[in-house]
Chain A
């Protein structure tokens, strides 16, 4: 418990506590507007589309907002001091060593994937995927107002990625990870000598495959099969679905690749936590 309290009151973790309140608040605020739009069929702000003068109306808002934020920042800066620990010492590694709080979702992914995936490929794909969003989301509706009904898929995917895979993992990494990067519940004592049996096995072993070459082929087949799920769905449905035809094969392949890659993280988490799966594909060149 004392370690958890120390974590919660750590000055650098104040932003995460703020996020715990800010995100539900803004979710509620946007949900209310989206529901009203969906019920009435008209964007809730459509009636307010006439023009007003920036000076004084917008400038006044900006000024008031800036004053309030500066007040909050001023009080925050007076009340809470920025942390300063002992001088740096390359020979003294703290346990656990944590990255800054905004990178903890990435550090959390390292539990489930090798560094080249969790630390390089997945962050890279997050960036590429974010930039690609406007080019692969061809739904012309829901532009400039809150709505759920007109773009459920886009919202579900983004909210899952942002709220669950980014924010929740960040919070887990900050508050629940202790020495040895083991999970410690808030009421548990941070035991630096905690022994966690490493009983993880590869997926191929779960299926009783013992031969090394067979295991590589098996792992490769599982991953290739996973990624061909997308194209299979396309050729199965594209005859009857107007949406898929409009999207086109190239855009569809990009969407399905990014979507399946995003889902690979929770799938690997479930496999690891539920079945103790270490790797899906283990080979001399790379492990996934």
Chain B
């Protein structure tokens, strides 16, 4: 049976038709596997070889990779959503309604963006939990852990700034509640302890965040730019650093 199958396989791969399509066979050698990673722009973040235990789901939980995947999904769906959304108090809510009811697959697009964002918050928290449980922050990976903590914050901030954009009651009050805390910042908030008397509602740290004394149209524009441009840029730079340091610090951690 095996012989027969082998014979048939050879017959097919030696035929003129097959050879006209595939110029040569795929040699299964280490050299080939190494070049496959090194010569591919999308794969070159990987080292050519890794420890076998790093393939185990039960060790890595795949959470770092899932976080990155979620970031890519939100980036792609986010760009598509930007075609249909105007960050002004007049149009924002209506544009979301249009996405839901008029634009083909608009609802699906919005759903994917929102759920991928929530998924990213979950996966980034679980990723940190896994890295802690395996002690993977220890020497020489201390700095990369710090970068990871900043990336966690950025994930929260990205999600939070995006929360305002639908401009509905849910968005408006969640952001109002969330930013109200900034009033109480010591020294820099007008209701905080030790605030100098010339710190008022109109020039404290909350004002800087909201571009106003309450959440308003200028807050929407500010959050939109933070959400779509500024924070993703910072996140991308830090992610590049994070991935690079994973390799430079000796690859994925493991029992040595």
* Interface residues in chain A, defined as those with a beta carbon under 8 Å from any beta carbon in chain B: 12, 14-15, 18-19, 22-23, 26, 29-30, 33-34, 42-43, 45-46, 48-59, 61-62, 65-66, 69-70, 73-74, 76-78, 80-90, 92-94, 97-100, 102-103, 106-107, 110, 114-116, 118-121, 127, 130-131, 133-135, 137, 139-147, 151, 154-155, 158, 162, 285-286
Contact = CB atoms under 8 A, between A and B. Distances in A.
A86 B48 CA distance: 53
Contacts of B253: 143-144
B171 interface: yes
27 contacts: A43-B255, A50-B52, A51-B50, A53-B30, A55-B36, A61-B55, A73-B116, A84-B168, A85-B168, A86-B168, A87-B168, A88-B167, A88-B168, A98-B177, A99-B178, A106-B181, A115-B191, A118-B181, A119-B180, A121-B186, A131-B145, A134-B137, A142-B135, A143-B253, A145-B135, A285-B194, A286-B193
A14 B137 CA distance: 31
A80 B115 contact: yes
A146 B115 contact: no
Interface of B: 30, 33-34, 36-37, 43, 46-59, 61-62, 65-66, 69-70, 73, 93, 96-97, 100, 107-108, 110-116, 118-119, 121-122, 126, 129-130, 132-139, 141-142, 145-146, 149, 152-153, 156, 159-160, 163, 166-174, 176-178, 180-186, 189, 191-194, 214-216, 253-256
Contact of B56 (A48, A118, A127, A133): A48
B118 A14 contact: yes
Given A26-B61, A77-B108, A115-B181, A88 B171 contact: yes
Given A90-B214, A120-B184, A107 B177 contact: yes
Chain B at the A interface: mostly helix, strand, loop or mixed? helix
Contact of B115 (A73, A93, A98): A73
Contacts of A158: 132
Contact of B48 (A53, A92, A99, A141): A53
Contact of A144 (B73, B135, B174, B184): B135
A73 B112 contact: yes
Contacts of B126: 22-23, 26
B130 A26 contact: yes
A55 B50 contact: no
Contacts of B113: 82
Contacts of B182: 119-120
B33 A55 contact: yes
Secondary structure class of chain A's binding surface, majority of residues? helix
Contact of A58 (B46, B130, B156): B46
A240 B26 CA distance: 65
A56 B132 contact: no
A88 B93 contact: yes
A94 B50 contact: no
Nearest 9 pairs between A and B by C-beta?
A119-B181, A43-B255, A88-B172, A115-B184, A134-B142, A45-B53, A144-B253, A77-B111, A48-B53
A54 B47 contact: yes
